[in-house]
Amino acid sequence: MTRIIGFLVAVGGLNRIRTRMMFGILEAEDVVIGLLMLAGGIVAVFSGTRLSRFGRRHTTRLVKDAGALEPQSYILYLRPFDLDDELYGIKPIPAASPIRRLRTPYSRTFEEHMVFDLRRKLGPVVAVGRPDERLPLSGARRFYLPLHNWKPTVSDAIRKARLVVLATGTSEGTLWEFTEAVRLLPPERLLVTVFTDEREYDRFRTAAGAAFAARAARLQGEEARRLAAFRWPAYPPLKKPDTIMRVAGTQGYIVFGPDWTPEFVRVDPTAVRALTLAGRSHAMARRQVNPVMRRIKQGLAQAPAPAPGVIAPAPPPYPPDVAPHAE
């Protein structure tokens, strides 16, 4: 809307000058007003996206108490916090459906686009807010953690979530979240998103392998065996690796079979054909992303439902290695 208003103001400024000149009544005051309207309109057009995004940050819904979230009622989105800045600068491709375009703002961020799709296909999304942010980003509802002893809160949120969407990263907190998700959840309730290139993903594989081995050494029984046996898949090559074509944002998804066998589904722009970038993105969504979402949805539907009054059939939430302690 800001961009439209800016365009109309700029046109109005030019029209004021033009009309006065046609009738021979142009004065210095008209030129100044017309130029100011033109300049203001241009600024509004180019800053409208940023202003709209910033304005929506004031309307982001917050979850005051993560412990009060109803079990199986939300999707939990966990990621390295520095990923927020990277994704915030990515402009998502507009939806193919005109109706869906009207329902989503032109200035939407990548997270808003991702959350909209997840909410439409699987359910509402909540995420952990950055501890140092003055305003939450728009997209998922945010809840905030204590500066110390945050792991029990995250562990409980993972255990109660209908689905956990985890983005790869090498920070200590992110690696712990991966081990905790595999420890607590059945495989159909975990979806891993990869936003990085092959080099960064290999760094993650190495760090995650060490984190899983270390965590398994502190656990016992089935949990220890599951973490010790866990393996991350290799980064799949593009269908046409010699093609100079890349996409920003999601590079792939990792989904898991009933026995935790991983499958890396690559978002590959060279595997589809289209005349435009938008058409290629829509083709990738239809052929590569949507099948992943359907698989997740079917897995959630077939998963055994928790008994009444029971959050989920899971082991005790806080074994000794995640007992409250200062980070």
pLDDT of residue 71: 92
Angle (deg, nearest 10), helices 172-184 and 151-160: 40
Ordered DSSP codes for 184-221: HS-GGGEEEEE-S-HHHHHHHHHHHHHHHHHHHHT--H
- Residue where a domain terminates, one of 19, 40, 56: 56
Within a domain: 177? yes
Taking CA atoms, 296 is separated from 122, 211, 309, in Å, by: 9, 26, 25
Whether 142 and 173 share a structural domain: yes
Within a domain: 48? yes
Within a domain: 66? yes
Whether 24 and 138 share a structural domain: no
Within a domain: 205? yes
Range picked from 27-41, 116-130, 153-167 for highest mean pLDDT: 153-167
Q: How confident is the model at residue 243 (pLDDT cuts 50, 70, 90)?
A: confident
pLDDT of residue 75: 95
Closest CA to 198 of 268, 149, 145: 268
Instruction: Give the mean pLDDT of 294-323.
Output: 59
Q: Look at the chain and report how many structural domains it folds into.
A: 2
pLDDT of residue 309: 41
Taking CA atoms, 19 is separated from 15, 40, 139, 260, in Å, by: 6, 19, 45, 72
Calpha distance 144→150 (Å, rounded): 9
Whether 193 and 46 share a structural domain: no
Within a domain: 87? yes
Q: For 12-16, 89-93, 112-116, which range has the lowest pLDDT when averaged over its residues?
A: 89-93
Closest CA to 37 of 6, 9, 15, 7: 9
Q: Please enumerate in sequence order all residues whose Cβ is within 8 A of that of 2, keeping only pairs 6 or more positions apart, or say none.
A: 44, 47, 48, 51, 52
Whether 25 and 102 share a structural domain: no
Looking at per-residue confidence, does 282 or 98 come out higher?
Answer: 282
Q: How confident is the model at residue 254 (pLDDT cuts 50, 70, 90)?
A: very high
Whether 41 and 65 share a structural domain: no
Domain interval for residue 286: 61-322
Whether 178 and 250 share a structural domain: yes
pLDDT of residue 323: 39
Whether 26 and 94 share a structural domain: no
Within a domain: 327? no
pLDDT of residue 304: 60
Whether 147 and 18 share a structural domain: no
Instruction: Give the mean pLDDT of 228-233.
Output: 95
Whether residue 236 has pLDDT greater than 90: yes
Within a domain: 31? yes
Percentage of the residues of the chain whose pLDDT score is greater than 90: 44
Whether 154 and 103 share a structural domain: yes
Q: Please enumerate in sequence order all residues whose Cβ is within 8 A of that of 116, keeping only pairs 6 or more positions apart, or say none.
A: 104, 108
Predicted model pTM: 0.78
pLDDT of residue 10: 79
- Residue where a domain terminates, one of 56, 80, 95: 56
What letter represents residue 217's amino acid?
Answer: A
Whether residue 78 has pLDDT greater than 70: yes
Whether residue 311 has pLDDT greater than 70: no
pLDDT of residue 49: 66
Whether 86 and 47 share a structural domain: no
Instruction: Give the mean pLDDT of 244-267.
Output: 90
Whether 167 and 282 share a structural domain: yes
Whether 189 and 101 share a structural domain: yes
Calpha distance 74→158 (Å, rounded): 10
pLDDT digits (tens, 9 = 90+) for 164-195: 999 999 999 999 999 999 999 999 999 999 99
pLDDT of residue 120: 87
